[in-house]
Amino acid sequence: MKKLNKKGFTLIELLAVIVIMGILMMVAIPAMTRYIENSRKDTFVDTAKNYANAVKNMWASDSLVCDGVVASANPEGKYYVEIDSKSNKNNLLESGGNSSWGNAPVQGIVMIEIKTTGLKNAQTTYSIVLTDTAGHGVDSFVESDTLARGNVKTADASPKADTTKDPSVTFDTLLSTSPYDTAKKCVEQ
């Protein structure tokens, strides 16, 4: 019998390694994809909360004017501030503020609702709707304090039916529906 030279791997050994690697990839790729998607959602939630906090700060410091009236002097009701990261409308964030999906610009609305709960006690809640140009985001008003990963949609979240249309038309449509049809627009003074 002739002795074989053992300088390489046999075909069976190579096939076994390839099968094991394939099984590991079948498990690892979906897990990594889910991890990346969840981190994008979390980043989007942080961006939305940053916009809501910016509006809260502007409201508290009377930097917003609604129908010619400074924020703190407004009566009970609904008010809104537009968000547009492309034009930095209302100067809400100094930097950042784009989507976590490809750094796309975002548009949305922060809704401020003031309810009087006593003689002079007013409760103020802030809700947000925010989407990017690719349709990722929060497609209906969610209170900013309760905003979480589960509120973020990864596709077709935009309140508009056609993503090629101007999103502001859609937000106008959203604002024309009850209970938001009485909301007053606020701008930076």
Q: In the prediction, which pLDDT does 167 show? A: 46
Distance CA 167, CA 162 (A): 9
Across 49-56, average pLDDT? 93
105 and 96 Cβ atoms separated by less than 8 Å: no
Tell me the domain boundaries of the chain. Answer: 34-188
Over 90: is that where the pLDDT of 50 sits? Answer: yes
Interval 119-157: pLDDT, tens: 777 888 999 999 888 889 988 889 999 999 999 988 765
- Write out the DSSP string of the chain: -PPPP-SS--HHHHHHHHHHHHHHHHHHHHHHHHHHHHHHHHHHHHHHHHHHHHHHHHHHTT-EEETTEEGGG--SEEEEEEEETTTTGGG--SS--S-TTTT--EEEEEEEEEEE-SSS-EEEEEEEEEEETTS-EEEEEEEGGG--GGG-BSSS-SSSS-TTS-HHHHHHHHHTSTTTTT-EEEEE-
pLDDT band of residue 160 (cuts 50, 70, 90) is very low
Among the residue ranges 40-44, 113-117, 123-127, the one predicted with the least confidence is 113-117
Percentage of residues of the chain with pLDDT beyond 70: 85
Which CA distances in Å does 73 have to 61, 95, 169? Answer: 12, 30, 29
pTM of the model: 0.80
